[in-house]
Structure 1
């Protein structure tokens, strides 16, 4: 569970830092969270489908990573395009790269596929990870907004308080270790 918490927080931190390059609104942040959550769910279930239809019958276990990488890139592109078509007023421009840069997508898909989980368990695992990622992204945004308060020392504003927040979030998510049975 500690590894999961570290990957979740580091992926959210990286995505949040990529989103900070442009002026981010709350709507853009939630659209990115939704797109990442959908990508995680589709990536895990599609990874299982690839495993059962392609990897196991043709004994391509050593090439699993090279089969999942294009799948994740296709999802990052497809989910943002689908959201743009469904809701044209949502800010989906330039969301493909934060989704592609998420190691969480690939790591979670590899873990679920490697453990040979059932469909429902994999879907639940993807949903929980996607919602956790969305929550971590929103918490980072809230932390950045609160760090602009005049009571926060100038030396801690920006990246230092973000890294401190990432450490505290990792400890909080690690506190959930053992909450759900293995």
Structure 2
């Protein structure tokens, strides 16, 4: 589970830097968070069913990446317009490109294939992972915003202070990972 926390923060950091490296807009962050959360909620149960009902009976577990990547790509292209219908004030254009590179959903799908989990656990991981990813995006945006308003030495401005803040947040959240496991 600690690997998932580190993958979650690294994916959130990459997505927020790819979204808008200067100053991310709150509405755009919420749009990316909603699209990513819905991607995880939909992709994890579907990916679980594909892995355990289609690949496992034929012994083709090694081919799961070739099946999961097109599933994630199709969902990344279909989900932003659905979120746009629910929230027309959120700026959606260009988010499908960022969703294509979302490593958190792929990491969770591959993790589900390794252990003996159920479809309900896949749905639960999708809900928790999506909410956690959305929270990580908002927290990293807060780190970016605070780093622009403080007096920071010139060598640490920009990406270095963002990486330091993300590393500290990842260590704090990975410390919590043992609380919820068996």
- Who is 1:91 aligned against? 91
Is the deviation greater in 62-71 or in 144-153? 144-153
Q: Offset at 1:70?
A: 0.2
The SS at the match of 2:90 is coil
Q: Offset at 1:85?
A: 2.8
- Who is 1:159 aligned against? 159
Is the deviation greater in 94-103 or in 113-122? 113-122
* Separation in structure 2 between the aligned mates of residue 150 and residue 114 of structure 1, nearest angstrom: 44
Q: Offset at 1:107?
A: 1.1
Which aligned pairs between 1:8-23 and structure 2 lie closer than 5 A? 8-21=8-21
- Who is 1:113 aligned against? 113
TM-score, normalized by length of structure 2?
Answer: 0.93
Q: Structure 2 stretches of 5 or more lacking a match? A: none
Q: Offset at 1:100?
A: 1.1
* Separation in structure 1 between the aligned mates of residue 160 and residue 180 of structure 2, nearest angstrom: 32
- Who is 2:48 aligned against? 48
1:160/1:58 Cα in 2 relative to 1: closer, same or farther (>3 Å)? Answer: same
Q: Structure 1 stretches of 5 or more lacking a match? A: none
Which aligned pairs between 1:11-160 and structure 2 lie closer than 5 A? 11-21=11-21, 24-160=24-160
The question of whether the paired residues in 1 share the 8 Å contact of 2:34 and 2:83 is answered with no
* Separation in structure 2 between the aligned mates of residue 112 and residue 137 of structure 1, nearest angstrom: 23
TM-score, normalized by length of structure 1?
Answer: 0.93
The question of whether the paired residues in 1 share the 8 Å contact of 2:24 and 2:141 is answered with no
Which contiguous aligned blocks of 4+ residues in structure 1 show a shift greater than 4 angstroms? none
The SS at the match of 1:4 is helix
Alignment RMSD, CA only? Answer: 1.6
